[in-house]
Amino acid sequence: MAPPVSDYVDANGVRLHYIRKGAGLPLLLLHGWPEYCRVWEPVIDRLDDRFDLVAPDLRGFGDSDKPERGPSATAAEQVHAADLHALLSSLGIGRFGIVAHDVGVFPAQLLADREPQRVVGLFFFDCPNPGIRDRWRAPSQLIESWHLYFNQMPWAADLLGTSRQACRLFIGHFLRHWSGRKDAFDPVLDQWVDNFLKPGNLQGGFNWYISRHAARVRMMSGERTEIRRITVPTCVRWGDQDPATPVAWADRLGDFFSDLDVASFPGAGHFPHFEFPDRAANEIGRFFGQRG
């Protein structure tokens, strides 16, 4: 089976890396943390006969540029959305669908809100949303949310970069603990560690948490902001074994999406797309097959 093509494009002032494979309706695949574009390869291999699959490394991740090598608040969803808009333009992609997880859910919603005529559908694995409110800091959740704050420490990347073992313990913890299938990432763990040990990649991922912190605090404090409901058809499949973002947090999604299909993804944790790629690909194919 041929691997996806790996390439680069200059977009919005940064050099973005992406992998691409297939033909048909373009689907933009957006990763979360601690991930990078290769997390989508199992799904790509199962859908490349039907879709044109483009999986970029967000700025700060993978082989994309790290414009800020130190702690920085310049990697919020607005910046990622602008990067992705420029990427799509550079690749000559008109109408497209988006499949996203974790971090990728945020710029995906901005793209859909700004250009609903181009985005044929949204498919999210888990979906952080403003309806979570102060549940991030509920006593029962605190043990799972510590990374939101650790990842903002100005010394965190330096500490974890002191040795391969330190990085492996840290990244491996989240890939195993957050998974319903605890062994799902074992065959690629060293590949993941290699990725995050590349210069700037630990801090590049952490800068998302720094950039998102103020908005999360406002949400947890109950501050209400005007949020328009997204009209693009949206499908959410939420792992029912996810300790990081529990499936119960899907209860308010209807407040933010007007055309919504939401259901649990049995047996999966935080990474349904990687833990169970056959089922994940079937769900994606079904949803976008109706819109192609």
CATH code of the domain covering residue 34 = 3.40.50.1820
Nearest to 249 by CA among 150, 131, 159, 169: 131
Q: Which residues of the chain have pLDDT under 70?
A: 224-226
Residues in contact with 140: Cβ distance below 8 Å, sequence separation at least 6, in sequence order = none
Could you tell me what percent of the chain has a pLDDT over 90? 87
Catalytic site positions = 102, 209, 270
Spatial distance between the Cα atoms of 44 and 281, rounded to a whole number of angstroms: 8
Q: Which two tokens stand for residue 211?
A: 């950039």
Spatial distance between the Cα atoms of 280 and 268, rounded to a whole number of angstroms: 10
pLDDT at 224: 67
Buried b (16+ CB within 10 A) or exposed e, 225-255: eeeeebebbbbbbbbbbbebbbbebbeebee
pLDDT at 218: 86
pLDDT tens-digit map of 46-59: 999 999 999 999 99
Instruction: Give, in order, the Cα–Cα distances in Å from 153 to each of 30, 139, 157, 232.
Output: 25, 22, 8, 37
Spatial distance between the Cα atoms of 141 and 31, rounded to a whole number of angstroms: 23
Spatial distance between the Cα atoms of 206 and 127, rounded to a whole number of angstroms: 19
Range of the domain at 58: 5-289
Number of compact structural domains in the chain: 1
pLDDT at 139: 87
Residues in contact with 7: Cβ distance below 8 Å, sequence separation at least 6, in sequence order = 17, 18, 19, 20
Residues recorded for the chain: 292
Which contiguous run of DSSP H or E holds residue 262? Answer: strand 260-265
Longest dimension (CA), the chain: 50
pLDDT at 226: 64
Helices (H), the chain: 41-47, 77-90, 105-114, 142-145, 147-150, 156-160, 164-177, 189-196, 201-220, 272-275, 277-289
pLDDT at 225: 65
Q: Which two tokens stand for residue 242?
A: 């996810």
pLDDT at 158: 98
pTM of the model: 0.97
pLDDT at 16: 98
Spatial distance between the Cα atoms of 226 and 222, rounded to a whole number of angstroms: 13
